[in-house]
Amino acid sequence: MRQERIPILKNNTFHQSYFREELVSQDANVHPNHPYFEIQRKCIWKNNIDPHRLDFYMVFLVTNGEGIHTFGLKEHYIHKNMLCFVGPNMISSWQSETNVQQGYFCTFSEEFINAGSENKNFLHDLPFFDIQGDSVLHLSGEQTEYYLSLFKLMQTEYENRNEFSTAILRSQLMVVLNKAYAEFKSNACSCPKTNPAALRLLKAFTSLYLSDIAMIRTGKGIHVKKISQYADELGVSQNHLNDTIKSITGKSAGQLIKSQLTRQATMCLMHGKKSISEISYSLGFEDPSYFARFYKNQTGQTPSEFRVAHGRLYKVPV
């Protein structure tokens, strides 16, 4: 049986796979003969990116959003205050758990870093680009702000390029990489380690409930199962499932599902034309009044209050 090959994405083609739509103008690579460098906001990523390899390097900073990211041989639950690294030919995939994704990502070639440098093995010596390395750096809030300032400086320089920009961008990127290397070495022993079996359980659970919630896209109503039913499907106890999920995400299995239902409800209220009762039924709530209490408990507003607050932008029935 023929096995499907994992695609290799190049710097001039990866946007279609990564971005929700083609948001980068044709001048993203205005100097095609120069070493490749690009910086963008992470919020334009798709919610799901299939397994692939890159033929360049990527560094991204997460300031908001959650999801499961594969880096080489490892999977990580990615969330706020993480700096992540993807090396060439490292198998990578992404499955978001939130519609909101914020941060920055920088992509570049080895030639870009090596230009004018005596150490041509710099990138190869960094532990976080190795397939078997640890590609995630957990940051404090203060550290995140530090890296965020560097990414913002790079983006400003990138958007206002001149004859000196290539050297400036290279220097700024080297600060990011060297600072990260120093923190990797000092924090190696204190970085939280995720149990692979626990992560597999989280991923399996996530796939199950997201599949149920995705039924709303077909026009059918959502039918989210009880946590005990998901646990039975996964062959574990309800307590084990909850404990495992909470150890990784800080939230219970039920809280993850409620968060997804709330996001779906908000999108329907904001963009849809259904009544609140119709939305409640489509989300699996048999009683619209219970849906209203659920939504207020999650957001601080009733569905009606949300629509009134957004009425000028979205002309939909209350």
Q: Is the pLDDT of residue 272 over 70?
A: no
Locate 60 and state its tokens. Answer: 């991204």
Which residues lie across from 93 on neighbouring strands? 70
pLDDT tier for residue 308 given thresholds of 50, 70 and 90: confident
pLDDT tier for residue 244 given thresholds of 50, 70 and 90: very high
Could you count the other beta carbons within 10 Å of the beta carbon of residue 214? 12
- Give the span between the Cα atoms of 184 and 167, in whole angstroms: 26
Q: Which residues contact 289 (CB under 8 A, 6 or more apart)?
A: none
Q: What is the mean pLDDT of residues 119-143?
A: 84
Q: Is the pLDDT of residue 165 over 80?
A: yes
Find the helix or strand (DSSP H, E) in which 146 lies. Answer: helix 141-159
Strands 74-78 and 8-9: unpaired
DSSP reduced 3-state for 76:
strand
- Give the span between the Cα atoms of 135 and 152, in whole angstroms: 22
Q: Does domain 196-309 have CATH number 3.40.50.12280?
A: no
pTM score of the predicted model: 0.66
- Give the span between the Cα atoms of 236 and 201, in whole angstroms: 9
Phi, psi of 312 (to 5 degrees): -70, -25
Helices 165-187 and 141-159: crossing angle in degrees, nearest 10, is 160
pLDDT tens digits for 196-238? 888 889 888 988 888 888 777 666 678 889 999 999 999 999 9
The pLDDT of residue 118: 83
CATH topology of domain 8-187: Jelly Rolls (2.60.120)
The pLDDT of residue 58: 95
Could you count the other beta carbons within 10 Å of the beta carbon of residue 17? 15
The pLDDT of residue 167: 94
DSSP state of 56: S
Handedness of CA 277, 279, 282, 286 (dihedral sign): negative
Q: For residue 219, which of 266, 268, 254, 285 has the smallest C-alpha distance?
A: 268
Q: Is the pLDDT of residue 104 over 60?
A: yes
Q: What is the mean pLDDT of residues 114-128?
A: 85
The pLDDT of residue 312: 34
Q: Is the pLDDT of residue 78 over 70?
A: yes
In this structure, of 18-32, 35-49, 113-127, 238-252, the range with the lowest mean pLDDT score is 18-32
Q: What is the mean pLDDT of residues 119-146?
A: 86
Q: Which residues contact 241 (CB under 8 A, 6 or more apart)?
A: 201, 205, 227, 230, 231, 234, 253
Locate 138 and state its tokens. Answer: 């957990």
| All structural domains of the chain with their residue ranges | 8-187, 196-309
| Neighbour-count burial of 256, counting CB atoms closer than 10 A to its CB (0-12 exposed, 13-18 middle, 19+ buried) | buried
pLDDT tens digits for 286-295? 889 999 999 9
